[in-house]
């Protein structure tokens, strides 16, 4: 019980309340993970509960990993028997064991977004759906929403009767599921849907897991959807020892299917539920929390709670309004640079948060020009890059030959001269026999009219068979290297010799690193296990704790994180809240946006800066925006407002023909994290100007050079511009031109 002394009164109460349904309303930064881990320890050490009778579920691999680490540290011996995992990982473990009861092979594939789009494209072709009217992504979103609500294809079809468009969606839903079944594959939504189906169809399986999981804890409960609620409530129906932890004020994933009613109506579903509020915040200053409370109190659809802290009052919330978004981004970059130079702050202390991904461009440009290292969260996913998708398809085919999508992707990668006509014959043969595409390739000599193309197919089939045979003796790293060698994939890129090819080779190296990391960390490393881990990885899970860079990300991506210094950019009506939420003119839409603002404010630990622009270019047009209503909801006494940031010069539109160095750097950002130490700056042997000389800059105009400092990689030039004031810049980026005087 000594460990409970580290907890406050409400946290202790939540830990000790072990029997029956429990709702823990945990405000931002209130130590909910600490409560969950101590609750698990209390159940094992003080209540005599077996570790394997405890299930703890959260949403991201990162959160599950942190919880697992804390449980291991606090519980010690036996902690490895506690199931600590995400919803999807939990369901994968159950389905790997029992999905054969539903007619699937236990070695099923997990399809990502790109795989789903490929399947749906084929479904639309078969159903002769007009791609202009029925886009694959739209249909997939409709299907995903149906699965979130636990609506089967047949139920969807019944509900769609009389609605011509929805009838088309229903047909696509039915065919899509048939195609997945044929490929022995599930998409992400299916993982949970199929687990609920399994429990309904097989009472003995349900009873086994109900007896196994007598104490269930769910983190981030406000983010659950309907089918996730069905999963949890079904598992907990016998013991009724269900503890859910969440914050309705941080429910921001409605667009992903999250149902805020799950947390708001918990007491209606479980009338005997205990409710405990965690309101003491350990993250932020008093001023920041007062600002957050002031904003969120304007929401009606919420459970009452007020965050407080013993951290002290802290600095006021800063608000800066600028003429343009260009000036806004320039200020943020300058402010970060100034604080790095004048305080003990590190780059990792700063986060720039915004409502949409499109807002990142100007911040990227300004941070680049200021030579500030940054990382863009939520960009192109590593596993969506072509070379990674290709190599994973090889691994999937070795692991699960029934995955037609993977086989089709690599049958001609590298090129084997197998034409579309041949592939259509293989597909027709597979359809007629009711077998997989790979099985048809194995029986290519039986396909009518296949001719000499069979000789091109055989080497591919033999390669897969050879890899399967070697799998028992090779590590996954060795298997990957063998595939690269046998296919000549890496060799082709090396021979290509372009910058793009080099980048792809670096990505392949990174994939191998990922494989080795998995093998070192897994208790029983298996190919299927690695493919599962890759499929379940989220963007934000790749965030490294020791990565010393400024982070740029959307507010949605920032949930669950914290930073000493936060900039909330684009605080304007029309940007945040968005035009769409304002146009909807419903309280529900604005309240979702307000919760998102609350999340953004409570990411800040010590300093919070809000910025907005009077004019912002959207879709090529300038829009004049009012300051966000969320800023206006913060009391004046909590804020420090700066006068409009107006440089001595009139803002100029960015030049259309950008510097080629910047373009190359911009391209690098799409494929890898930017790091100034890796960016190749071409340092001139000497500069043709010096202190006292007059120079011109493409944006800032004319000025006088004040000083030049020679660094190892470049010259740092300080210039007093006539209209823009004093600026520091690197010579290779600035491209200053000396003005000859008479």
User: Which residues participate in catalysis according to the annotation?
Assistant: 32-33, 219-220, 250, 603
Burial class (CB in 10 A: 0-12, 13-18, 19+), 409: buried
Strands 185-187 and 22-26: unpaired
CB 6 within 8 A of CB 26: no
Beta carbons within 10 angstroms of residue 6's beta carbon: 11
Question: What's the longest Cα–Cα distance across the chain?
Answer: 95
Other C-beta atoms closer than 10 Å to the C-beta of 374 total 26
Helix, coil or strand: residue 700: coil
Burial 46-78 (b: 16+ CB within 10 A, else e): eeebebebbbbbbbbbbbbebbbebbeebbeee
- Chain-centroid distance of CA 662 in Å reads 27
CA proximity to 536, closest of 33, 37, 179, 96? 96
Answer whether 373's CB lies under 8 Å from 672's CB.
no
Rounded to the nearest 10 degrees, what angle do helices 325-342 and 360-369 cross at?
A: 40
- Integer Cα distance of 186 and 177 in angstroms: 9
Check residue 600 and report its DSSP letter.
H
Cα–Cα distance measured from residue 378 to residue 539, given in angstroms and rounded to the nearest whole number: 6
Two tokens at 316? 């006021």
Least Cα distance to 607 among 203, 185, 283, 341 occurs for 283
Nearest-CA neighbor of 277 among 14, 483, 89, 455?
14
CA distances from 260 to 8, 33, 102, 297 (A): 28, 21, 31, 17
703 strand-pairing partners: 695, 721
Could you give the CA distance from residue 665 to residue 673 in angstroms, rounded to a whole number?
10
Chain length of the chain: 742
Q: In whole angstroms, how large is the CA radius of gyration of the chain?
A: 29
């Amino acid at each position: 019980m000594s460990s409970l002394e580290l907890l406050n009164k409400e946290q202790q109460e939540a830990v000790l309340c072990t029997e029956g349904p429990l709702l823990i309303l945990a405000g931002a930064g209130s130590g909910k993970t600490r409560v969950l881990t101590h609750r698990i320890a209390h159940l094992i050490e003080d209540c005599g509960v077996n570790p394997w009778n405890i299930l703890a579920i959260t949403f991201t691999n990162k959160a599950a990993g942190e919880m697992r680490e804390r449980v291991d540290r606090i519980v010690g011996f036996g902690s490895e028997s506690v199931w600590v995992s995400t919803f999807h990982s939990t369901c994968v473990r159950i389905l790997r064991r029992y999905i054969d009861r539903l007619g699937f092979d236990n070695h099923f594939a997990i399809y990502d977004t790109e795989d789903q789009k490929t399947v749906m494209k084929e479904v639309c072709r078969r159903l002769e759906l007009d791609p202009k009217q029925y886009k694959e992504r739209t249909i997939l979103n409709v299907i995903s929403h149906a699965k979130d609500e636990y609506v089967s294809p047949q139920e969807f079809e019944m509900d769609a009767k009389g609605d011509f468009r929805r009838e088309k969606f229903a047909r696509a839903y039915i065919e899509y599921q048939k195609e997945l079944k044929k490929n022995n594959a599930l998409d992400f939504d299916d993982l949970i849907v199929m687990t609920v189906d399994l429990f309904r169809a097989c009472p003995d399986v349900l009873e086994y897991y109900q007896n196994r999981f007598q104490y269930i804890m769910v983190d981030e409960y406000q983010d659950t959807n309907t089918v996730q609620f069905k999963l949890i409530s079904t598992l907990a129906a016998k013991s009724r020892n269900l503890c859910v932890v969440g914050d309705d004020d941080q429910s921001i994933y409605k667009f992903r299917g999250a149902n805020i009613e799950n947390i708001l109506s918990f007491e209606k579903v479980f009338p005997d539920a205990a409710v405990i509020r965690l309101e003491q915040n350990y993250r932020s200053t008093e001023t920041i929390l007062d600002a957050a409370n002031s904003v969120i109190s304007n929401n009606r659809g919420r459970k009452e709670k007020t965050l407080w802290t013993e951290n002290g009052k802290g600095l006021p919330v800063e608000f800066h309004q600028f003429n343009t978004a260009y000036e806004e981004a320039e200020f943020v970059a300058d402010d970060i640079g100034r604080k790095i130079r004048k305080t003990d702050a590190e780059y990792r202390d700063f986060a720039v948060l915004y409502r949409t991904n499109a807002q990142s461009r100007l911040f990227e440009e300004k941070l680049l020009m200021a030579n500030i290292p940054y990382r863009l969260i939520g960009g192109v996913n590593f596993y969506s890059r072509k070379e990674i998708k290709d190599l994973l398809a090889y691994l999937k085919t070795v692991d699960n030959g029934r995955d037609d999508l993977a086989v089709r992707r690599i049958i001609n990668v590298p090129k084997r001269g197998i034409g579309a006509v041949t592939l259509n014959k293989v597909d027709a043969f597979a359809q007629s026999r009711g077998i997989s595409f790979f099985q048809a390739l194995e029986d290519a000599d039986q396909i009518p009219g296949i001719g000499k193309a069979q000789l091109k197919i055989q080497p591919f089939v033999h390669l897969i068979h050879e890899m399967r045979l070697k799998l028992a003796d090779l590590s996954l790293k060795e298997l990957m290297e063998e595939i690269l060698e046998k296919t000549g994939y890496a060799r082709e890129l090396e021979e290509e010799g372009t910058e793009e090819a080099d980048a792809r080779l670096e990505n392949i190296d990174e994939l191998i690193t990922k494989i080795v990391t998995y093998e070192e960390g897994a208790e029983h490393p298996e190919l299927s296990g690695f493919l599962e881990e890759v499929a379940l990885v989220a963007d934000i899970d790749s965030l490294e704790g020791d990565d010393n860079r400024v982070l740029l990300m959307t507010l949605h991506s920032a949930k669950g994180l914290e930073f000493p210094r936060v900039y909330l950019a684009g605080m304007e009506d029309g940007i945040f809240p968005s035009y769409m939420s304002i146009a909807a003119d419903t309280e529900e839409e604005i309240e979702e946006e307000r919760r998102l603002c609350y999340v953004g404010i409570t990411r800040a630990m010590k300093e919070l800066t809000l910025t907005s622009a009077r004019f912002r270019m959207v879709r090529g047009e300038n829009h004049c925006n009012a300051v966000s209503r969320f800023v206006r909801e913060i009391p004046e006494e909590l804020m420090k407002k700066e006068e409009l940031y107006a440089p001595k010069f009139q803002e100029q539109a960015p030049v259309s023909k950008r510097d080629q160095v910047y373009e190359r750097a911009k391209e690098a950002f799409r494929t890898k994290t930017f790091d100034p130490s890796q960016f190749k700056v071409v340092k001139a042997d000497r500069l043709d100007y010096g202190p006292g000389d007059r120079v011109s800059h493409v944006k800032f105009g004319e000025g006088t050079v004040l000083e030049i400092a020679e660094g190892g990689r470049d010259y740092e030039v300080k210039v007093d511009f006539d209209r823009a004031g004093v600026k520091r810049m690197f010579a290779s980026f600035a491209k200053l031109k000396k003005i000859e005087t008479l």
